[in-house]
Amino acid sequence: MTGLKRGTVSISPHDPDWPRQARETISILLEVFGDRAEDIQHIGSTAIEGIQAKPIIDIAVGVLNMEGLPIDRLLERGFQESYNRFSSNLLYVLETDDKIRTHQVHILPYDSLQWHNYVDLRDYMNAFPEKAKEYEELKIRLVKECNNVQTAYTDGKHDYMERTLAKAREYAKNRGKV
């Protein structure tokens, strides 16, 4: 099942339906953003094959210019503005009436460091299943330790993510070289 009640920190077994749900959302976002979107990608743990994840579909919308975005059309599709304590990127979410968050849409400059962090980490984890398993083990441990406090869960991943993002960027830089 996709979705997590606001204020809850939990992970679920990998759902093979997550990629399909992401594709459906990307189709909607392509309609909303049109040629304003340079690229739209499924990111986050639900985009990493086979690992447990918070069951929320994360999508990154890369744009060349953050001005004049079709936010009204996004709101008309049921997305709500939210807050991202980690960046100034725009964050919109889909939630059910009972505050179950199912999707998060991160709108950010295309080709920015954050864009590459999202895409490179996903690609690195999918290329190296042992790294994905290591990440999953960290997530499982942190869920047990964080006492349902989102900031404790996220902060607990910080050092691991910094090290792993450096490896993911190196992997992306060398990909395609013989």
Output the pLDDT for position 97: 87
Closest to 69 (Cα-Cα) out of 42, 34, 39, 40: 34
> Does residue 13 sit in helix, strand or coil?
coil
pLDDT at 15: 97
Of the pLDDT bands very low, low, confident and very high (cuts 50, 70, 90), residue 178 is very low
The pLDDT of residue 1: 80
pLDDT, tens digit (0-9, with 9 covering 90-100), for 18-70: 999 999 999 999 999 999 999 999 999 999 999 999 999 999 999 999 999 99
**Number of domains present in the structure of the chain:** 1
pLDDT in tens, 114-140: 999 999 999 999 999 999 999 999 999
pLDDT, mean of residues 83-109? 87
Q: Residue 157: its pLDDT value, please?
A: 95
Q: Whole-angstrom Cα distance, residue 119 to residue 122?
A: 5
The domain of 92 spans 4-174
Contact partners, residue 74, CB within 8 Å, separation at least 6? 32, 92, 105
Cut 0.85: pTM above it = yes
The pLDDT value given to residue 176: 61
- Binning pLDDT at 50, 70 and 90, where does residue 83 land? confident
The rounded distance, in Å, linking the Cα atoms of 10 and 5 is: 9
**CATH code, domain carrying 54:** 3.30.460.10
What does the pLDDT read at residue 85?
65
